[in-house]
């Protein structure tokens, strides 16, 4: 054991030298970023503030690591311990370089995001550039991570073939890894396709799986859709390459909205059309480009009126449709209540006649049984008693209605 660790005094001296190097690096880090942060806040430049914010945490690790690399050759350690220490520090430097490249990618993305903002009305170009930047940033970070890990593995002779297979993507190990990570690789490739063809962009208004919302975030493997009621729909990135969906702001943000009104046939269409124009002119939700009102359908109970209007974006179009629908219904209620949809029902008077028994629609032209024949014969006898056998109309009436007043008086006497 003593042969492995060497002299204890040499170990203490080496530990002191390495600790001193780390301490000097941390003090330098504190001084540098204190001055840089104060300078960035005084100037108020977002790029410099982003640089200070992004690099502060990584520099707290990279600067002491660099100090250790510089101090290690001067330590009085045994050769084998110094070799192990230098290998560990070499791995750390490889990781630090990869971390630095990722940091540089994020800084470039922040500069692009600061230049192209989407909080303006005409933000189509800004959304296109931000989408490409965000997707390429995520793809670059994944690629840099894979390359860094592969290079670190190649420093170990026993596992160098693993790093080689990761870099070259060849051989059985690469095939197995590719099959196991099929979903991940699919989403990465889909991310590159989204960045190039751009079926979706940041802040696009889309309808996905029957849900309407906005593209809030495009990650390396999934997309976050912010639903109108502030829910979040997480969709795999490959979904937007393989399945159909609606994109309301693919080429431009303005939209056409429709409102369906059902009214009676007596509704004054011309007056309703003028009221629609008055409603649109009274609100700033309408962009003043398109409007119209047409009778698009008619049924047995009502006719369908379609009000057409335009707005600068999807949320504004939704609010405008709700406003127009409410105002038009209110207009019909106050000015033309008779024009509201109604159901008509006409009742015809029913006329009864004894001859109806002879012409029963249920039995005419059909084969009757014995009961139908008896009913028919009884009806014929009744008609004969009224019109035949020498009885006059008055006698028949008396026979039916009972004795007269004189007969009743005679009977009483």
| Conformation bin of residue 120: beta by default, left when phi > 0, alpha when psi is -120 to 50 | beta
User: Which residues make Cβ contacts (< 8 Å) with residue 387, sequence separation at least 6?
Assistant: 396
pLDDT of residue 250: 80
Predicted confidence band at 409 (pLDDT cuts at 50, 70, 90)?
very low
Cα angle vertex 326, ends 325, 329, to 5°? Answer: 85
pLDDT of residue 183: 63
Q: Compute the average pLDDT of residues 90-100.
A: 86
Percent of the chain with pLDDT over 90: 18
Tell which wins on pLDDT, 298 or 121: 298
Please list the residues that pair with 208 across neighbouring strands. Answer: 211
Do 86 and 22 fall into the same domain? yes
Is residue 195 within 8 Å of residue 170, measured between CB atoms? no
Predicted confidence band at 405 (pLDDT cuts at 50, 70, 90)?
very low
Q: Using CA atoms, how far apart are residues 128 and 126, in angstroms rounded to an integer?
A: 5
Question: What are the structure tokens assigned to 328, written together?
Answer: 């038009």
Residue 293: exposure state from Cβ atoms within 10 A (0-12, 13-18, ≥19): buried
pLDDT of residue 234: 92
Is residue 307 within 8 Å of residue 321, measured between CB atoms? no
Cα angle vertex 230, ends 226, 233, to 5°? Answer: 40
Do 93 and 81 fall into the same domain? yes
pLDDT of residue 331: 94
User: Which residues make Cβ contacts (< 8 Å) with residue 76, sequence separation at least 6?
Assistant: 10, 13, 14
Do 205 and 269 fall into the same domain? no
- Asked, for residue 318, whether it belongs to a domain, the answer is yes
User: Which residues make Cβ contacts (< 8 Å) with residue 141, sequence separation at least 6?
Assistant: 102, 105, 106, 220
Do 167 and 246 fall into the same domain? yes
Mean of all residue pLDDT scores within the chain = 76
CATH of the domain at 196: 2.30.30.60
- Asked, for residue 264, whether it belongs to a domain, the answer is yes
Query: Is residue 375 predicted with pLDDT exceeding 90?
Result: no
**pTM of the full structure:** 0.49
* Placement of tokens 């971390």 in the chain: 99
Indicate the residue among 216, 251, 286 that finishes a domain: 251
Do 232 and 333 fall into the same domain? no
Domain extent at residue 333: 255-339
- Asked, for residue 234, whether it belongs to a domain, the answer is yes
Indicate the residue among 311, 339, 367 that finishes a domain: 339
Please list the residues that pair with 217 across neighbouring strands. Answer: 224
Count of domains observed in the chain: 3
Query: Is residue 299 predicted with pLDDT exceeding 70?
Result: yes
- Span 116-171, pLDDT tens digits: 777 766 667 777 788 778 878 887 888 888 888 888 887 777 666 655 555 555 45
- Asked, for residue 410, whether it belongs to a domain, the answer is no
Do 220 and 264 fall into the same domain? no
- Span 334-349, pLDDT tens digits: 999 988 887 766 665 6
Query: Is residue 94 predicted with pLDDT exceeding 70?
Result: yes
Alpha helices of 209-313 — where are they, by DSSP H? Answer: 239-242, 269-281
pLDDT of residue 392: 41
Per 3-state DSSP, the chain is made up of helix, strand and coil in percentages (nearest 5) of 60, 10, 25
Q: Using CA atoms, how far apart are residues 95 and 89, in angstroms rounded to an integer?
A: 10
Tell which wins on pLDDT, 20 or 11: 20
pLDDT of residue 83: 81
- Asked, for residue 312, whether it belongs to a domain, the answer is yes
Look at residue 218 and give its three-state secondary structure. Answer: strand
- Asked, for residue 85, whether it belongs to a domain, the answer is yes
- Span 259-273, pLDDT tens digits: 999 999 989 999 999
Query: Is residue 357 predicted with pLDDT exceeding 60?
Result: no
Q: Compute the average pLDDT of residues 221-237.
A: 89
Alpha helices of 210-293 — where are they, by DSSP H? Answer: 239-242, 269-281
Distances in whole angstroms, Cα of residue 257 to Cα of each of 272, 292, 310, 322, 331: 17, 11, 6, 10, 20
Do 237 and 274 fall into the same domain? no
């Amino acid at each position: 054991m003593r042969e492995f660790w060497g002299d204890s005094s040499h170990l203490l001296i080496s530990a002191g030298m390495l600790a001193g190097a780390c301490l000097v690096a941390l003090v330098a880090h504190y001084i540098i970023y204190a001055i840089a942060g104060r300078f960035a806040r005084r100037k108020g430049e977002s790029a410099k503030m982003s640089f200070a914010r992004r690099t502060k945490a990584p520099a707290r690790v990279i600067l002491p690591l660099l100090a250790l690399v510089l101090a290690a050759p001067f330590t009085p350690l045994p050769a084998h311990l110094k070799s192990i220490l230098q290998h560990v520090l070499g791995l750390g430097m490889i990781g630090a370089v990869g971390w630095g490249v990722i940091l540089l990618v994020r800084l470039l993305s922040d500069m692009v995001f600061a230049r192209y903002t989407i909080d303006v009305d005409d933000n189509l170009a800004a959304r296109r550039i931000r989408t490409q930047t965000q997707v390429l940033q995520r793809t670059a970070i994944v690629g840099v991570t894979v390359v860094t890990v592969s290079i670190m593995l190649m420093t170990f002779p026993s596992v160098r073939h693993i790093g080689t297979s990761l870099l070259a993507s060849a051989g059985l190990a690469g095939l197995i890894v590719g099959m196991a990570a099929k979903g991940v690789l699919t989403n990465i490739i889909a991310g590159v396709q989204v960045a190039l063809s751009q079926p979706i962009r940041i802040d696009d208004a889309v309808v996905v799986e029957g849900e309407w919302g906005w593209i809030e975030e495009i990650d390396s493997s999934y997309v976050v859709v912010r639903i109108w009621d502030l829910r979040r729909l997480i969709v795999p990135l490959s979904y937007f390459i393989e399945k159909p969906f609606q994109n309301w702001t693919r080429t431009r943000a303005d939209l056409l909205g429709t409102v369906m009104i059902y009214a009676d046939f007596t509704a004054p269409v011309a007056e309703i059309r003028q009221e629609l124009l008055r409603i649109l002119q009274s609100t700033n939700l309408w962009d003043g480009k398109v409007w119209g009102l047409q009778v698009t359908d008619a049924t047995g109970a009502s006719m369908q009126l379609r009000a057409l209007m335009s707005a600068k974006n999807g949320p504004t179009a939704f609010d405008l449709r709700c406003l127009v629908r409410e105002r038009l219904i209110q207009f019909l209620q106050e000015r033309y209540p008779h024009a509201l949809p109604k159901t008509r029902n006409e009742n015809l008077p029913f006329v009864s006649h004894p001859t109806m028994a002879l012409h029963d629609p249920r039995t005419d032209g059909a084969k009757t049984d014995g009961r139908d024949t008896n009913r028919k014969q009884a009806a014929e006898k009744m008609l004969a008693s009224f019109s035949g056998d020498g009885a006059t109309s008055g006698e028949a009436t008396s026979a039916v209605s009972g004795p007269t007043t004189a007969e009743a008086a005679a009977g009483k006497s």
